[in-house]
Amino acid sequence: MATLKKYNLEGKETGEIQIEDNLLLENVNHQMLKDYLVALAKNQRQWSANTKGRSEINHSNKKPHPQKGTGRARQGTLAAPQYKGGGVVFGPKPKFDMHTRINKKERNAAIKWLLSELIRAGQVHVLESAKMDAPKTKIVEKFLKELGIDGKKVLVLAETREAQDKTIYHPFTKSLRNMQRKFFKCISAINGNDLANRDTLVVTEDAVKELVAILER
């Protein structure tokens, strides 16, 4: 049985939360995992790069120099790609149908395995429900330092209920804004990149139920 340690805002351990071993995914198809992460990266591209060909360049059609008599090679237009400011040969054009479809079961399996690995490694911590009157970076820095994760890439996961509230950036998450390598996200919106590119997770106590629900998929 895996154990998640629970801490208060001062960084003191206040309890434990047990996660059944049968909820943790033992194995995963690594090729499937790679394909999922690559698809996520591809789908983040805007595909908006746009270059102009020689027919789109705003240049005169007059020849740069006479066709004959100069000893130089004949040239037809300054819009040719060999001239500075000329058209681009085989340059990128906007693409609008480049989305890579991700299978839902494969997505769930990849997220479940990445979460399971973090839990088994002891890199998931639970933050006890606490209220902050105002954002205080020093308080959050002290909390992370007490846990020994102040120098790591930390992802704070909050419950979905806060995502539906206008005060999603409550004082704790606001305190993360000017801290390097510290991130915040609602647990219902996480993807494989969020988990693969972070060293450790801090889950709010209210979000633990949603964490377990993800493992139960």
* CA-to-CA separations, 149 to 22, 138, 199, in angstroms, rounded: 28, 15, 9
- Nearest 5°: CA angle at 93, between 91 and 97? 140
Both tokens of 93, joined, read 């054009």
Tell me the residue type at 149. Answer: I
Q: What is the largest CA-CA distance in the chain?
A: 91
Each residue's pLDDT expressed in tens, for the chain with a length of 217 residues: 899 999 998 999 999 999 999 999 999 999 999 999 999 999 998 889 999 999 999 988 889 999 999 999 999 999 999 999 999 999 999 988 889 999 999 999 999 999 999 999 999 999 997 777 788 899 999 999 999 999 999 999 988 765 445 444 578 888 888 899 999 998 989 999 999 999 999 998 888 999 999 999 8
Determine the pLDDT at residue 169: 54
Determine the pLDDT at residue 166: 45
- Residue 130 CA to residue 172 CA, distance in Å, equals 9
Determine the pLDDT at residue 161: 63
**The sheet that has 13-19: what strands, in order across it?**
13-19, 2-7, 124-127, 200-204, 154-158, 182-186
Both tokens of 165, joined, read 């509230």
Judge: domain 2-45+100-215, CATH 3.40.47.10.
no
pTM: 0.81
**Residues sharing a CB contact under 8 Å with residue 64, sequence separation 6 or more, in sequence order:** 75, 77, 78, 83
Determine the pLDDT at residue 162: 52
Region(s) of the chain under CATH 3.40.1370.10: 2-45+100-215
Which of 32, 41, 186, 42 lies closest to 107, judged by CA?
32
Tell me the residue type at 132. Answer: M
Determine the pLDDT at residue 164: 47
